[in-house]
Chains A and B, each alone.
Chain A
Amino acid sequence: MTMLNTLVAVCSAYAVFLFAIAFVAERAAMRGQARWLRSPIVYTLSLSIYCTAWTFYGAVGSAVRSGFEYLTIYLGPSLVLIGWWWILRKLVRIGRSQRITSVADLISSRYGKSNLLAVGVTILAVVGTTPYIALQLQSVTLSFEVFGVGDLPTGEEQGHTALWVAAGLALFTVIFGTRNLDANERHNGVVMAIAVEAVVKLFALLAVGVFVVWGLSGGVSGALQKIDASPLGAWQIDGGRWAGLMMLSAAAFLCLPRIFQVLVVENDNETHLRTASWAFPFYLGLMSLFVVPIAVIGLEMLPQGSNPDLFVLTVPLSVGQDGLAVLSFLGGFSSATSMVIVAAIALSTMVSNHVVMPLWLRYAGGGAKVSGDVRSVVLLARRLSIIGVVMLGYLYYRLTGGGAGLASIGLVSFAGMAQVMPAMLGGIFWRGASRIGALTGLTLGFGCWGYTLFLPSFGAGVFLPDAWIAAGPFGIGWLRPQALFGIEGMDPLLHAVVWSLILNTGGFVLASLASFPQPLERLQGAQFVNVFEHSAAPRSWTGRVAQAEDLMIMAQRILGARDAQALFEREAQLQGLGGTLPAPTPDFLETLERELAGSVGAATAHAMVGQIVGGMSVSVEDLMAVADETAQLMEYSARLEAQSQELARTAAQLREANAKLTRLSVQKDAFLSQISHELRTPMTSIRAFSEILRDTTGLKPQEQSKYASIIHDEAIRLTRLLDDLLDLSVLENGQVNLNLREGRLSDVLDRAVAAAAADEHGARLRIRRDRGAENVWLNTDLDRLSQVFINLVANARKYCDAERPMLEIRVRQGDRLVIDFVDNGTGISSEAQDVIFEKFSRVSDQKAGGAGLGLAICRQIITRLGGEIRYLPGQGGAAFRVTLPARIAMAAQ
């Protein structure tokens, strides 16, 4: 009894020591002196939570029961570490670049951030870890029992011990596992404490081993002789279990939540893995080195029927080495506590991040606007999860009655967690792995494991009826839990592992092959599988569709209204924006996430920002949104461009019109002076000569007649001018009546050419015509048409400045009748081309032959006739094209 009291005192002192270590480490980390906390050795030692009480006590028990088989549990992880280049390196890089917080997070993140998968893995982890925690409680309880020999504690008291231990561990974990949810989800205090515990347990086991080998067996050779002489003397191993357990432990090492926690989540530097690659196998080797000698000595010295799981304690006790026994006890206590602590942290992270927070955000998140409420919810969720997880372990312990050997409980747990392996390895090496595949595999594997191993582990009749185990459910023989598909006589564990992993992997691969992943899955798949090509540093936010207002609401709830508003205002100013809402740029999101992480932990902050932003790092939704935006922008800018082109065209047209107007105005001015001159000249001579006729007496008759004819000629000139003006105005007002007649084009042209030649100085102009083409019958106002032709020919005659002027008249009949008048002069300059059809327009002042109304009249006439006349540039001289509609032209008959 005094021994027990001493033990309780030692335990309490040790617990205080651990609290102190954790506290000091936390303080150091907070002051930024955490370099030594983050050395590769601390990392390696923290990995040693793999060695739980199962190792410390159970390995010896396992060695007694099945010889060297216990080694497989350490060989597997050693191989994984030695082969770090293959898997761990990638896993750690992914964990760091994707900010993975747990196994469940890894799986869910890989398969398109599926929360269903995360919840599934979380449940699997909780169910798989529960037996393991029970195992730790059982071992601590048993070790207490050893020291309480003589008191013969009843089952009730055993339960008390386990409960006290569970409560103590839950307390420690709640204090150090949830006290700092700050940046990047790392727990310096806890890591340091488990590193110290790793040293304690190694030291204790080595001490017992050294004592056994050199103290009790007379050195190495003596120990080896004793081993050969013992029941364990000959190599005897079940080959299937040797290979199978090695594989299982390797798989479990990758998937166990607590190992993942220290291996990936708490990893601070990828290079630490390099040190761990040799140091951790070394540690494992040391841990398992003295197991067989202890087992052999225990078998030799202790009475038949002693619990081999406790040889580490009972051997020193039996030879009176109480101090060594207490040290050994502390080693076992360390192993148990460190495992429970880290497992509880890892599981609580999963439970709160993947189960509690999503539910809370969905059902309660909307209304609550009080500051700090989310933080308290997260903390509460974690604390309750920790307590829940530890208590589940306790419940399992009470349910199974603590009967089974430690090793077999541990293996049940291993086999459960190993179900995550296909999805995990498939996820990081195979881009084709899909969410459906992972779900199928996990469901099949988990179901098979539960049915063939987990439920039967409670003993027949607890969850599965006796009859089921013996004859299968409803008498279906091939569904017997321990002989699936009629394969009997297999080791139950191996049977469960083989079938569950086969079904798991098979389902995973087949469903992956058959399904088509969503875009997000494919993106994540590429980022995971090709992590070394994509990431040198942790990814930052790249989403930018977040609503600043939503972020503000969320930040207020966590940081408090004042702090949040101050933060947002500061950021808005930094961005150079007025007001209080900054644009949700990646930089701002990162800052905000960091701020939030201080309150609720990085993972939750990331998840919460992610929830509003719409994805962690860059999601497909983001990409699609960007694509949409870009498309809209592009469309918008295309429209703008079209509009601006149109504007440019309009502006050019306006400029043109303006220039034309200016030219017209100039011409009008010129014409007005011209027309006044034109009118004035004949008027002057008419007045002058009529005055002569009136005032001069004695004029000769021939003089009289000459003067009168001059007056007459001038009057005719005036009349012609006025006729033209009248004609044009009549045409323009549409008051003209067309006199439709039938006639031949060649006749019209003949008349026009003859009329034009009748003008004063003709004859010099040569006219080339194609009579054959002119043989076209017309039904139109022939007089008006010939007026146009006369005008065109006369113009050529008047203005063609070639040495040997020539006019070519080409006639072409397609769907319209086209008549071109092309001369060989210099043509009309391009600026003049615009105005020649205007009234009072004259090409050159020098040859002022007319009033500049001819072409204007021509255009009016042709328009009235339903055709078109325009200047034809680029013909070598002045060229006019008259186009008449086909109905006017009738085919030659």
Chain B
Amino acid sequence: MSDSDLPRRGKPPVFLERQSYRRRRVNDAARVLPFIGTLLWMIPLLWPENGAAVRSSSAIIYLFGVWGLLVLGAGLLSWRLSVQAREGDPERDGTGVPGGSGGAP
């Protein structure tokens, strides 16, 4: 997490400006999105199988709906990140990949 690498970089401010703060949160969102996706796609495991089984049409709509939303979310984040990269990230090296300490969990 980018917050975790704060202590390593000399004396960064504990509280960030609004802009930098937004940046960090976009990065966080990019990290969280796959977990949301996994969660949503694991939900079918809870569906009943016999008796009142979920109809396939609903399953298709659900699964592809999630797919669409994830694509939309990823697209949105990608757009935000590219805007950030263009504006230049004062905290980073400016290689167009703003972000944390390597995304290490």
Other A-B pairs, 7, CB within 8 Å; known A234-B55, A270-B95: A79-B34, A224-B57, A228-B56, A235-B58, A271-B97, A281-B74, A532-B101
- Give the number of residues in B that approach A within 8 Å (Cβ atoms): 49
When chains A and B are docked, how far (Å) is the Cα of A790 from the Cα of B99? Answer: 94
Select which of B42, B102, B103 is within 8 A of A243 by beta carbon. Answer: B42
Q: Is B78 part of the contact surface with A, judged by Cβ < 8 Å?
A: yes
Task: Give per-residue flags for B67-93: 1 if the beta carbon is below 8 A from chain A beta carbons, else 0.
Answer: 110111111011001100100000001
Q: Is B17 part of the contact surface with A, judged by Cβ < 8 Å?
A: no
Q: Is B60 part of the contact surface with A, judged by Cβ < 8 Å?
A: yes
When chains A and B are docked, how far (Å) is the Cα of A81 from the Cα of B103? Answer: 14
Q: Is A444 part of the contact surface with B, judged by Cβ < 8 Å?
A: no
The answer to whether A232 touches B38 (Cβ under 8 A) is no
Q: Is B49 part of the contact surface with A, judged by Cβ < 8 Å?
A: yes
When chains A and B are docked, how far (Å) is the Cα of A68 from the Cα of B62? Answer: 12
The answer to whether A71 touches B30 (Cβ under 8 A) is no
Interface segment, one of A87-95, A146-154, A334-342? A87-95
- Collect the chain B residues with CB atoms within 8 Å of residue A275's CB: 78
When chains A and B are docked, how far (Å) is the Cα of A281 from the Cα of B68? Answer: 9
Using known A-B contacts A271-B82, A429-B104, determine if residue A85 contacts B49 with beta carbons closer than 8 Å.
no
Chain B residues packing against A (C-beta within 8 Å): 27, 30-31, 33-35, 37-38, 41-42, 44-45, 47, 49, 53-61, 63-64, 67-68, 70-75, 77-78, 81-82, 85, 93, 95-97, 99-105
Using known A-B contacts A93-B97, A227-B60, determine if residue A78 contacts B102 with beta carbons closer than 8 Å.
no
Task: Give per-residue flags for A61-94: 1 if the beta carbon is below 8 A from chain B beta carbons, else 0.
Answer: 0000001100100010011111111110110010
Using known A-B contacts A90-B103, A271-B97, determine if residue A281 contacts B56 with beta carbons closer than 8 Å.
no
Select which of A87, A227, A228, A239 is within 8 A of B103 by beta carbon. Answer: A87
Within 254-292 of A, Cβ neighbours of B (below 8 Å) are at 270-271, 274-275, 277-279, 281-282, 285, 289, 292
The answer to whether B45 touches A79 (Cβ under 8 A) is no
The answer to whether B82 touches A281 (Cβ under 8 A) is no
Tell me if A's interface is mostly helix, strand, loop or mixed: helix
The answer to whether A82 touches B96 (Cβ under 8 A) is no
Closest 8 CB pairs of A and B: A83-B34, A278-B74, A234-B53, A278-B75, A224-B57, A235-B54, A85-B30, A532-B102
Using known A-B contacts A270-B96, A278-B75, determine if residue A235 contacts B59 with beta carbons closer than 8 Å.
yes
Q: Is A529 part of the contact surface with B, judged by Cβ < 8 Å?
A: yes
Using known A-B contacts A78-B37, A233-B55, A234-B56, determine if residue A90 contacts B67 with beta carbons closer than 8 Å.
no
Using known A-B contacts A270-B95, A274-B78, determine if residue A78 contacts B67 with beta carbons closer than 8 Å.
yes
- Collect the chain B residues with CB atoms within 8 Å of residue A282's CB: 71
- Collect the chain B residues with CB atoms within 8 Å of residue A79's CB: 34, 37-38, 41
Using known A-B contacts A271-B85, A285-B64, determine if residue A236 contacts B33 with beta carbons closer than 8 Å.
no
Select which of A239, A529, A536 is within 8 A of B104 by beta carbon. Answer: A529
Q: Is A24 part of the contact surface with B, judged by Cβ < 8 Å?
A: no
The answer to whether A82 touches B95 (Cβ under 8 A) is no
**In chain A, what residue has the closest Cβ to B35?**
A83
Q: Is A237 part of the contact surface with B, judged by Cβ < 8 Å?
A: yes
**In chain B, what residue has the closest Cβ to A282?**
B71
When chains A and B are docked, how far (Å) is the Cα of A224 from the Cα of B60? Answer: 9
**In chain B, what residue has the closest Cβ to A240?**
B45
Select which of B45, B54, B71 is within 8 A of A278 by beta carbon. Answer: B71
- Collect the chain B residues with CB atoms within 8 Å of residue A156's CB: none
**Distance to closest chain B CB from A263 (angstroms):** 16
When chains A and B are docked, how far (Å) is the Cα of A80 from the Cα of B41? Answer: 13
Select which of A90, A235, A237 is within 8 A of B55 by beta carbon. Answer: A235
The answer to whether A234 touches B82 (Cβ under 8 A) is no
Task: Give per-residue flags for A525-539: 1 if the beta carbon is below 8 A from chain B beta carbons, else 0.
Answer: 000011111001000
The answer to whether B71 touches A227 (Cβ under 8 A) is no
- Collect the chain A residues with CB atoms within 8 Å of residue B105's CB: 86, 429
- Collect the chain B residues with CB atoms within 8 Å of residue A529's CB: 102, 104
The answer to whether A235 touches B47 (Cβ under 8 A) is yes
The answer to whether B53 touches A86 (Cβ under 8 A) is no
Select which of A81, A278, A536 is within 8 A of B93 by beta carbon. Answer: A536
Select which of A80, A225, A292, A531 is within 8 A of B60 by beta carbon. Answer: A292
Task: Give per-residue flags for A424-441: 1 if the beta carbon is below 8 A from chain B beta carbons, else 0.
Answer: 000001000000000000
**Distance to closest chain B CB from A132 (angstroms):** 25
Q: Is A509 part of the contact surface with B, judged by Cβ < 8 Å?
A: no
The answer to whether B53 touches A532 (Cβ under 8 A) is no
**Distance to closest chain A CB from B76 (angstroms):** 8
When chains A and B are docked, how far (Å) is the Cα of A246 from the Cα of B38? Answer: 9
The answer to whether B67 touches A285 (Cβ under 8 A) is yes
**In chain B, what residue has the closest Cβ to A292?**
B60
Select which of A93, A242, A531 is within 8 A of B45 by beta carbon. Answer: A242
- Collect the chain B residues with CB atoms within 8 Å of residue A233's CB: 55-56
**Distance to closest chain A CB from B31 (angstroms):** 5
When chains A and B are docked, how far (Å) is the Cα of A530 from the Cα of B8? Answer: 12
Chain A contact-residue range equals 35 or more
The answer to whether A281 touches B70 (Cβ under 8 A) is yes
**In chain A, what residue has the closest Cβ to B70?**
A82
Select which of B60, B71, B99 is within 8 A of A89 by beta carbon. Answer: B99
**Distance to closest chain B CB from A273 (angstroms):** 8
The answer to whether B82 touches A274 (Cβ under 8 A) is yes
The answer to whether B67 touches A228 (Cβ under 8 A) is no
- Collect the chain A residues with CB atoms within 8 Å of residue B75's CB: 278-279
- Collect the chain A residues with CB atoms within 8 Å of residue B104's CB: 429, 529
**Distance to closest chain A CB from B45 (angstroms):** 5
**Distance to closest chain A CB from B15 (angstroms):** 23
Using known A-B contacts A82-B37, A89-B97, determine if residue A237 contacts B49 with beta carbons closer than 8 Å.
yes
**Distance to closest chain B CB from A126 (angstroms):** 31
The answer to whether B41 touches A75 (Cβ under 8 A) is yes
When chains A and B are docked, how far (Å) is the Cα of A549 from the Cα of B74? Answer: 54
The answer to whether B27 touches A239 (Cβ under 8 A) is no
**In chain A, what residue has the closest Cβ to B104?**
A429
The answer to whether A533 touches B102 (Cβ under 8 A) is yes
When chains A and B are docked, how far (Å) is the Cα of A242 from the Cα of B67? Answer: 16
The answer to whether B102 touches A530 (Cβ under 8 A) is yes
**In chain A, what residue has the closest Cβ to B41?**
A75
The answer to whether A531 touches B71 (Cβ under 8 A) is no
- Collect the chain B residues with CB atoms within 8 Å of residue A93's CB: 97
The answer to whether A533 touches B101 (Cβ under 8 A) is yes
The answer to whether A235 touches B70 (Cβ under 8 A) is no
Using known A-B contacts A285-B67, A289-B64, determine if residue A82 contacts B103 with beta carbons closer than 8 Å.
no
When chains A and B are docked, how far (Å) is the Cα of A138 from the Cα of B73? Answer: 38
When chains A and B are docked, how far (Å) is the Cα of A282 from the Cα of B69? Answer: 10
- Collect the chain B residues with CB atoms within 8 Å of residue A242's CB: 42, 44-45
Within 511-570 of A, Cβ neighbours of B (below 8 Å) are at 529-533, 536
Select which of B35, B45, B57, B100 is within 8 A of A239 by beta carbon. Answer: B45
The answer to whether A82 touches B34 (Cβ under 8 A) is yes
**In chain A, what residue has the closest Cβ to B28?**
A85
- Collect the chain A residues with CB atoms within 8 Å of residue B67's CB: 78, 281, 285
Select which of B60, B72, B74 is within 8 A of A277 by beta carbon. Answer: B74
- Collect the chain B residues with CB atoms within 8 Å of residue A532's CB: 99-102
**In chain B, what residue has the closest Cβ to A94?**
B102
**Distance to closest chain A CB from B105 (angstroms):** 7
- Collect the chain A residues with CB atoms within 8 Å of residue B63's CB: 68, 71
Query: Which residue, B53, B63, B103, has most C-beta atoms of chain A within 10 A?
Result: B103
- Collect the chain B residues with CB atoms within 8 Å of residue A277's CB: 74, 77-78
- Collect the chain B residues with CB atoms within 8 Å of residue A225's CB: 57
- Collect the chain A residues with CB atoms within 8 Å of residue B38's CB: 79
Using known A-B contacts A234-B56, A529-B102, determine if residue A82 contacts B85 with beta carbons closer than 8 Å.
no
The answer to whether B71 touches A285 (Cβ under 8 A) is yes
Using known A-B contacts A71-B63, A79-B37, determine if residue A531 contacts B49 with beta carbons closer than 8 Å.
no
- Collect the chain B residues with CB atoms within 8 Å of residue A227's CB: 56-57, 60
- Collect the chain B residues with CB atoms within 8 Å of residue A85's CB: 27, 30-31, 99, 103
When chains A and B are docked, how far (Å) is the Cα of A279 from the Cα of B41? Answer: 19
Within 190-245 of A, Cβ neighbours of B (below 8 Å) are at 224-225, 227-228, 230, 232-237, 239, 242-243
**Distance to closest chain B CB from A645 (angstroms):** 42
When chains A and B are docked, how far (Å) is the Cα of A890 from the Cα of B81? Answer: 98
Query: Would you give 26 A-B contacts (Cβ < 8 Å), ordered by A?
Result: A68-B59, A79-B37, A79-B38, A82-B74, A85-B31, A87-B103, A89-B103, A224-B57, A234-B55, A234-B56, A235-B47, A235-B53, A235-B54, A235-B56, A235-B59, A270-B95, A274-B81, A275-B78, A278-B71, A278-B77, A278-B78, A281-B67, A285-B67, A285-B68, A285-B71, A530-B102
